[in-house]
Amino acid sequence: MILSFLMANNRAIVTGKIQLGFTLCIVLGMMSCSDPGGDSASDPRLFVVTTTTMITDLVKDIAGDEVRIKGLMGPGVDPHLYEPVPNDGIALREADLVFYNGLLLEGQMTGFLEGKGDKSFALGSSVAQGNLKGSNEHPDPHIWGDARLWAGCVPVVVNALAELDPGHAEIYRKRGGEVRMKLEKLHQWALQRGVEVPEQARVLITSHDAFEYFGQAYGFKVIGLQGISTVTEAGIAERVKLVDYIRQHSVKAIFVESSVSPAAIESIAADSGVKIGGELFSDAMGQPGDIERSGDEEYDLGTYSGMLKHNINTTVNALK
Ligand SMILES: [Zn+2]
């Protein structure tokens, strides 16, 4: 009864379906009275809400234990399609700071994330307009594919934390500098691995266009079956074109993505006779604690650096 009243009222004052859904979430969240981020009442630290796993990892590396962090999206979650659950509404309402990707990545939530005003920060805002891929109407949001571009997002996090929590500003700045150095090292490593693949074989074919920045940074031509969002599926014509391309260019392997259904890529592989070279992490990292070994290296797939290493190693090993 209360809900239907709220829904009716809500429908009268907002026009978007998304806004209706989200407001409902907040209402449902208030009714469920659960705590979104743990021991909120007794914890004096800043409460920071993040969206994707990559952003959660970056903010954790910079903020450490000085803040309480809640990441809304877990491993394997597709941010383009993610719909907020009731607890997300409470978390966003209670958050002291919100970090999100922006550039329309968090499709369903963009309006609400922006709605936190001067408490919400889009990491994508750190990328200069001229360095963005995609179009003006729909910029390509997958900036984390390039470790150097991702390092450029660090000041957004550091400055926001330092301003709101000046007592810890120095430690945030110090950790921010360390993270940037770590990302630069990772970038150099990835550059060196990329060139192990002969130039004409450096073609990365995946489910959707999540790897344009990755490809530009590490020397791969990228072909995504679905475009830069997973919202629309590829049609027959796109599939036929891709099968032709694979045959004509004798592509050695194509790749599925962890946060996108593998069905379309599997059918392309079956039709073209190409093998599937492995699963790449496109829009979400792996499970924390899932350790992968490659050569004499070990890395955690639930971290940003582990994710990028996995993507480079999987691509290079299958194509070289
Ligand atoms: Zn994507």
CATH number of domain containing 291: 3.40.50.1980
Q: 281 C-alpha to center of ligand 1: Å?
A: 10
The domain boundary residue, chosen from 120, 149, 183? 183
> Which residue range forms the structural domain that includes residue 170?
2-183
Does one domain contain both 78 and 169?
yes
Does one domain contain both 244 and 282?
yes
Q: 283 C-alpha to center of ligand 1: Å?
A: 5
Cβ neighbour number for residue 98 with a 10 Å cutoff: 24
Q: What does the alpha-carbon distance between residue 19 and residue 169 come to, in Å, rounded to a whole number?
A: 35
Q: 22 C-alpha to center of ligand 1: Å?
A: 22
Tell me if 64 is assigned to some domain.
yes
Task: Walk along the chain (320 residues) and give the pLDDT tens digit of each residue.
Answer: 333 333 333 333 333 334 444 444 444 344 333 444 455 678 999 999 999 999 999 999 999 999 999 999 999 999 999 999 999 999 999 999 999 999 999 998 998 898 889 999 999 999 999 999 999 889 999 999 999 999 999 999 999 999 999 999 999 999 999 999 999 999 999 999 999 999 999 999 999 889 999 999 999 999 998 877 777 777 888 899 999 999 999 999 999 999 888 999 999 999 999 999 999 999 999 999 999 999 889 999 999 999 999 999 999 999 99
Does one domain contain both 22 and 167?
yes
Q: 210 C-alpha to center of ligand 1: Å?
A: 5
Q: What does the alpha-carbon distance between residue 315 and residue 220 come to, in Å, rounded to a whole number?
A: 10
Q: 53 C-alpha to center of ligand 1: Å?
A: 13
Does one domain contain both 177 and 207?
no
Does one domain contain both 168 and 287?
no
Q: 33 C-alpha to center of ligand 1: Å?
A: 33
Tell me if 120 is assigned to some domain.
yes
- Predicted structure pTM score: 0.86
Separation in Å, CA 259 to CA 148, 207, 283, 308:
23, 10, 6, 15
Tell me if 188 is assigned to some domain.
no
Q: 316 C-alpha to center of ligand 1: Å?
A: 21
Does one domain contain both 26 and 175?
yes
Q: 105 C-alpha to center of ligand 1: Å?
A: 7
Cα–Cα nearest to 219, from 248, 190, 184, 243: 190
Q: 5 C-alpha to center of ligand 1: Å?
A: 36
DSSP 261: -
The H-or-E segment that residue 100 falls in is strand 97-100
Question: What domain count does the chain have?
Answer: 2
Does one domain contain both 209 and 85?
no
Q: 276 C-alpha to center of ligand 1: Å?
A: 20
Tell me if 156 is assigned to some domain.
yes
Does one domain contain both 10 and 86?
yes
Q: 52 C-alpha to center of ligand 1: Å?
A: 11
